[in-house]
A and B are shown apart, each in its own frame.
Chain A
Amino acid sequence: MQISKELLEKYHDGMCSAEEKKAVEDWLFSDESTDELALPAGGDKLAIQHEMWAEIASVLPQKGQNKIRPLWRQVAASAAVFVMVGSGWYFLQKSGSQDIIKLNNTSETVNKNVQSNDFTISVGPKSNVEINSETGVIDFCGAMMINPKEDIEFTIQGTCENPTDNKEKVILKKGLNYYALNYSSNANSNEVIVLEEGAVMSLPPLVMKQLLHQFDI
């Protein structure tokens, strides 16, 4: 079975069939395969590898100076960039006592799911979100699900277009699933919709079905 970006994403999301799971794990731990991870075409290979490592190092905990890396680590870094570029990125940025959660999902097919101390989050395909608990603002473009672990008030603003015109203040209640999406209709081409799970059924059938499928409601 071909190991692809989509298959790795499915594996991460726990959506693989038994056969797919076995194929990924065989690939991860097998020493027999001859396939290699491809670096981006063109450019200087070593420079690209160093650039990739620098990007990875910027989002990983610092562990001292960036020294000459063993080959396995360079390959791992390349693979990490392959995964990160291919399926988006996610990191927590400490800011005082608050967390900033940034998640960018460039996948065209699967969601990205993240557990933090304060939320469970699922970000739809081609969507991104930044949650700033300090300012109480969630910026997003696309579609997302958020389930808070405590009652909390947020201003949710759609950043696809004119964020200041497209925001909604909501109180998110502990343990409930909320969905936010940027939505365009003839009546309003730039709308931010935030609703509890039960209200999803009130959306136009096509939009409702997209959300049901995308977030497995």
Chain B
Amino acid sequence: MKTKSIRRSILFALALLALQTPRLLAQSLPAPLLEEAAQDCGLTLSGKVLDHDTREALPGATIYLPELDRSAITDEYGNYHFHQLCRGTYMFQVTYVGYETERFNVKLSSSSTRDLQLHSDARMLRTVEVTGEHLKAQAQTQHTLSGQELERTRGLALAETLQGIAGVTVLQTGPTISKPVIHGLHSNRVLLLNNGVRQEGQQWGAEHAPEIDPFVAAEMKVIKGAAGVRYGADAIGGVVLVEPKELPTTPGITGDLHLLGSTNNRQLATSATIEGNFEKLPPLSWRVQGTLRKAGNAKTPDYYLENTGLEEQNFSAAVGYSKEKYGAELYFSHFDTKLGILRESHIGSVQDLLYAIERGKPSRADKAEFTYDISSPYQAVQHDLLKAKGYWHLGEAGKLEFVYGWQRNLREEYELRRGSNTSPSLQLTLNTHTTEAVFEHKPLGNFSGAVGMSTIYQKNNYQYSDFLPYFTSVTAGAFATEKWKKDRLQLEAGLRYDYKHLQVKKFESDRSLIQPTYDFNNISGILGAMYDVGYHFTFGLSATSAWRAPGANELFSEGVHHSAATYEEGDPTLKSEQAYNLELSVDYFSNPRLNGALSVYHNYIRNFIYLAPQPEPILTVRGAFPAFKYTQANATLTGADLNLDYKIAEGLMLESKTSLLYARNLDTDDYLIYMPSNRFDNSLRYEFGHKGSSKLSDAYLSVGGVYVTEQKRVPENTEQDFAPAPAGYFLLQAEAGTTIRFGRQPVEVGITGNNLLNTTYREYLNKLRYFADEPGRLLMLRIRVPLNFSKS
């Protein structure tokens, strides 16, 4: 690699000199060399690597030029490129798993294309695994966080982990509670898949954080935009997939230990994983994992935020039995958290809220101190997941997979109240059983695809408060998707039908029990096209849809929502909402310097359910509350996500992410409230490579910042917010990390700094922005120790 870059930089320098200072050059360089440099180099050779018999493109094949010690790997469509070649004859050596290595001689006199054909090697297995983040499998935009990128977010809550992805923001309730927002949509419009099972907590609540331990994940994937076909109803805004690592297949016992500590809220966290595979019974493997997290009061640049600590204890265990033809896996996880909520955000009336806004900071801000203790108000949430999975490889037909999941979500909310009553103010128990069966057929000609069906059975109970009614629901759905791929074009289509039955049991104000039932059913679809233009360019166009049945809270809630200082009323006549998402994307990938992806989307939602302000306030003993009613309107969310990576020099990268969103309510001809404002995230990253001491490797340093604009797109026609959107802000961030070797034991060390300038700011999408500032400077130290208990 080094010789290549030196050679190239010499050529580049020569070219520059030739352009700018011909006289100087004429003196110092012999004439023929100059001519050659200017005219005969800079040639490009490109083409495809193909299977000789089937003419199928071979993605991931290696093309090696021994003379120049340069190599290239073909992209998803089998394309390869060599730039900056000089005139002459070259020998190319092409290797690919399952094919015989072949050599080709190419005489190059001008930039040209040449397809290279390989013969399959009968002695070898014809399987190959292609991995790489730039390879798109679907027209719809997805983003995956894994490896180092994921490691750097350890210690953050699930939603904060995903915030690094363009188009993904966070909806917060203070420092402890956060939810992912995809293209402006969140809560029950974003589907979470934990280990392949739909996460079923009380997602409808804006202050109900997802009950998933991010340490379980080896990979997190975000599908942006409506994606109802594969994952079922509700995926109006997008899908988040949290995937653990595959169970080990090689004998031995290994593990992983994380230790984290931070300043500011003095968070301490540890997570450990141990996994193994039995030498005597190779198909059997297992894993146990546990996480402990504790944090105290967070601190803004000027004061501590009282009662903003958190505690978390999670564990999971998995055992798998995997043979070539069939296999099964059993997984159990338990999540247990206690989340403190800023004391002074508990208000009783609109006047209290106005007082808080006017005061500008909590009344006890100057006296607040650090503590790990959590008192009321707080949330205590437990989530259990039991998952059983089985799969069968059905020979030439394909693969059949069955997943059953049971989840129990117990949510308790403790509020400030009179008397020595220690029971929660609200307790909800949600039990969910899900089943899914998917059959993936073996590729038939140019077609590949899957069919499947799924069921959900759900039951919600409450105690202490009937804010959310008892309900039972049954959902059943079936889907089919097919992909057709030929040469540079890939087309995909899918269809899904879902039916949902909902029975609600609710007491009327006269204490009589009513049992209304609902039936919802709808169709979701997907149409996508991807075209490979060549030259590392791919275009994608997708039209997707998803629908969502109104939730029990939207149908039946009635009462004062204290944290929002509003009176909210449900509407039992609501219909389903349906999203139609159109997305155009361009990917420019695998280039030496500049890479990027642009995605432009338009999400049209019919019967979008939102809280509409009502003209008459509701009078209570605590004063008048503005009234809101769940109402339906047509809405559009239009935006763009842009990712750009520019390699400035060897090891030095500029990474840039931009998210823009424009959301309108078409019925009231106004902006939608509480939508994320535009964000610009830029950072400069330097990787030291393997320079320097042999004890250190993979060292990197990164400095950057995120700029969030003021949200000026707020409703104009009606007064809906108690305070204007806060000003825009800029946060300086930096991080550094390396791997240190102690003998044979590697240890990964990293430090991340957030809000390094200790900027005082407030975020529009934080529900506590009326009461207090955001946390100030925070440094987080991370240590990861991979463990190997094998005897060797």
Question: Do these two chains interact?
Answer: no
- Measured CB to CB, the residues of A under 8 A from B are none
